[in-house]
Amino acid sequence: MKKVFLTLFILSSVLSFSQAGVCGQFHRKYCVVETKHGEKEDWMYNAQSKSGLFNQGSTSKIRCVVYKGMDYRINVCCETPLGEKVNYKIFDAKTNELLYDNATVKNEPLFEFQSKSSRQLIIEVSVPVTSTADKDKHKPADAACVGLLIEHKPSPREGFSQY
């Protein structure tokens, strides 16, 4: 009986790890913004970045904290079976006010902003329904990886410096 439970435990662990590994670090590999040769970029990886396996037509939300005096860059990318256009919206977590919707700029995946105050945001990612779907033995035909890459850097000082 112990062997049966041990076997079931190991099997369930392997299955859960393999599901997490399908898209694991997708955002680190595919959502990176290319810079011009010789151009210095100070953007740092933000640990709030995520990747996940999304079904067509699904929506998911993530809570994100931004801090005063920091610039942020958000980039959403996905695999081609879901198409090139993924919609995302940014809300203030306290007031639920819509702060940004990339649908207003033709679903542009990249958005940069400066935080004037420290606060929590909710980022809502919606995946469109498409008719084309590539076959992959590790994923359902109507699903693909989506990455949300969040980067940050200190905001440049403006105006006269203070003594």
Q: Any idea what the CATH number is for the domain that residue 33 is in? A: 2.60.120.380
Per-residue pLDDT tens over the stretch 96-123: 999 999 999 988 999 999 988 999 999 9
Residue 107 domain-assigned (yes or no): yes
Residue 84 domain-assigned (yes or no): yes
Residue 162 domain-assigned (yes or no): no
Instruction: Count the domains in the chain.
Output: 1
Type and span of the H or E element at 146: strand 143-154
Residue 18 domain-assigned (yes or no): no
Type and span of the H or E element at 152: strand 143-154
Domain extent, residue 106, equals 25-154
C-alpha dihedral over 50, 96, 152, 69, to 10 degrees? -160
User: What's the Cα-to-Cα distance from 153 to each of 3, 41, 44, 145, rounded to whole Å?
Assistant: 52, 9, 6, 27
Q: Please give the pLDDT value at position 136.
A: 52
Mean pLDDT confidence for 24-33: 85
**The residue type at 5:** F
Residue 67 domain-assigned (yes or no): yes
Residue 144 predicted with pLDDT over 80:
yes
Residue 4 domain-assigned (yes or no): no
Residue 149 domain-assigned (yes or no): yes
pLDDT band at 10; cut points 50, 70, 90: low
Separation between Cα atoms, residue 73 and residue 87, nearest integer Å:
16
Residue 17 domain-assigned (yes or no): no
Per-residue pLDDT tens over the stretch 51-80: 999 888 899 999 999 999 999 999 999 886
